[in-house]
Every structure is written in C-alpha cells, then in structure tokens.
C-alpha cells in the first residue's frame, strides 16, 4: 500500500483490488471487515463516511491487518470477533470459528425442548467459544448447561463470552475430553448437543488454508474416516441422557448414512432423523434415547 492521501472509499477500492489479485476470498467484504475493525466502527459507518481521511496510525494498523489476511489468517482471528445467533462471540486461534450451519443445531435444540419445559438440563460437548451453550442459555432462561472442553484456554474464552452475554450463571464450564468428567448416574440431561470434529484425514489435507493452517486441528480432525468422535458420542451419550432425552449432533457433508447406521447399531435410541442446513446438506442428527 503506497504512502499517499487516503480516504475510506479510496482505501477500500485499493484493498479490494489488491485482495482480488492475491486470491483472497470475498475481497470486498474482507476489506470492509478489517477497515471497520481498525476504526472501531461497523461496516455501515464506512459508507456513511466514505470521504473521511485516514490518519497515519490507522493506515499503519490497517497495513498490518492486510499482511495477516494475505498470509491466510481468517478475518475473525484478526478482529477477534465472529457473530453467531446474532451475538458477537470473541474468538482466537484456540477455538473453532462458529459457522452459520451450526445455528441449525441451536434451532433444532430449541425445537426439541419446546416452549413449555422447565428445569432443563443440557450438556454441550466440546464447547469451543461457548457459542452453542450461550445461544441456548439466551433463549432458555431456565436452562442449566454443562459445557465441556479439553482445553483450559478454550474454556477461559468461553467463560469470557458467557459473561459478555450475561449467561455465565446458567453455564458450568468443565474441563473434559468428551463425556469423561461427568460421572455416570450423577446427573441426567434432557439434551446433549455437540459440534464434534468430523473432518476425515483426506478431507483435512484439502481444506482451505484459512481453516487448515489456522483453526485448531483437534476441533476439526475426526480421524481416518471423520467418525472417531461421532462414534464415541453416539455410544456414550445415553449414559448421561434421561429417558427420551435427545442427542443433537452436527455432522459433515456425506456422513448422514454412516451416522444413521451407527445410531441404529447402538440400539440405545428409539428414533432418529437428520436435519438439513441452509444449503440443503444433511447437517444435524436428532436421536432420541429409549
């Protein structure tokens, strides 16, 4: 970026062109997100103030953001924020970036619980940023949620997000690998929700570099066939689910048949069905315990 007089509009135009020439995904949107971040404003501000001049400090900060984005780092890690369920979630490289398709899981959980139940108990396995647990807590004011993750750094960030959205009193954060920290029989849950690692080894190697090189591998890598964590969750969730409790789990594209077979073979569930995401891809398992 050459040294000269810059307005917001001129800077956006130059950056968009620069990103396009360097194969940055969604170049205009990426430029807008980063510039709004540097200015501590929203993207609408950019359009309402397109002729505003940029000062030297702002240009220097923006140059650093451009460099990081060109290296493949996701916008969300540069800005530290990703919106989920219309809520801003703090994110960093210790957690998976929440994605729109995971909102399908949240909606499925709300539909499963309904509007009449009280004293709801939910377990969120592999909570990451806490996005799923926090969205459910915001919608279900009487729910009590146990959110687990294997990483203390991840749990620290999830707690920050819970405090940010004033639901930390509803959520207990527990360090655990899947269900390991929950004693069998000590508590029964109405619902187990989870977005487990489900990317196969072959698929991981061809993921976009923004995902492969920057997001935490343990939150993505589901083993040789992508089903390692999924198998464990299907088999072990019934130990913590109450009668007719539900397991709601996100899955990868093309995994619905294998996941359905695992559910049937376990013989722990009375019924199950698959919900599609916004793109028409089989995305969320809903399995009801016998």
pLDDT score for 185: 53
Mean pLDDT of 14-20: 97
Q: Give the pLDDT mean for 43-70.
A: 96
Which of 3.30.420.10, 3.40.50.300, 3.30.1490.190, 3.40.50.150 would CATH assign to domain 92-289?
A: 3.40.50.150
Quote the pTM value.
0.92
pLDDT tens column, 87-131? 999 999 999 999 999 999 999 999 999 866 778 999 999 999 999
Please report, for residues 56, 144, 258, the alpha-carbon distance to residue 221 in angstroms, rounded to integers and kept in the order given: 42, 29, 17
When pLDDT is averaged across residues 136-163 and rounded to a whole number, the result is 96
The model's confidence at residue 3, banded by pLDDT at 50, 70 and 90, is low
Work out the angle between the directed axes of helices 27-39 and 8-21 (0-180°, nearest 10). 140
Over residues 204-248, the pLDDT tens digits come to: 999 999 999 999 999 999 999 999 999 999 999 999 999 899 999
């Amino acid at each position: 970026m050459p040294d000269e007089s810059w307005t917001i509009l001129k800077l956006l135009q130059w950056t968009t062109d620069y990103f396009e020439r360097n194969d940055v995904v969604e170049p205009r949107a990426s430029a807008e997100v980063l510039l709004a971040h540097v200015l501590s404003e929203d993207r609408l501000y950019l359009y309402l103030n397109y002729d505003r001049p940029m000062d030297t400090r702002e240009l220097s900060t923006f140059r650093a953001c451009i460099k990081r984005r060109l290296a493949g780092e996701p916008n969300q890690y540069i800005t530290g924020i990703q919106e989920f369920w219309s809520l801003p979630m703090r994110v960093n490289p210790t957690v998976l970036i929440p994605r729109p398709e995971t909102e399908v899981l949240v909606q499925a959980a709300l539909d499963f619980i309904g509007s009449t139940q009280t004293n709801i108990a939910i377990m969120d396995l592999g909570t990451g940023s806490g996005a799923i647990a926090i969205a459910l807590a915001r919608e279900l004011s009487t729910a009590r949620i146990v959110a687990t993750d294997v990483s203390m750094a991840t749990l620290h960030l999830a707690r920050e997000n819970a405090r940010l959205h004033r639901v930390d009193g509803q959520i207990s954060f527990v360090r655990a690998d899947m269900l390991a920290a929950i004693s069998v029989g000590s508590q029964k849950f109405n619902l187990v929700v989870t977005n487990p690692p489900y990317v196969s080894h072959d698929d991981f190697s061809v993921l976009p570099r923004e995902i492969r090189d920057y997001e935490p591998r343990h939150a993505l890598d589901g083993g040789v066939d992508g089903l390692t964590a999924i198998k464990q969750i299907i088999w072990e969730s019934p130990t913590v689910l109450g009668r007719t409790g539900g397991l709601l789990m996100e899955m990868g594209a093309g995994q619905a048949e294998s996941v359905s077979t695992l559910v049937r073979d376990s013989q722990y569930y009375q019924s199950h069905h698959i919900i599609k995401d916004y793109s028409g891809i089989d995305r969320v398992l809903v399995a009801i315990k016998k």
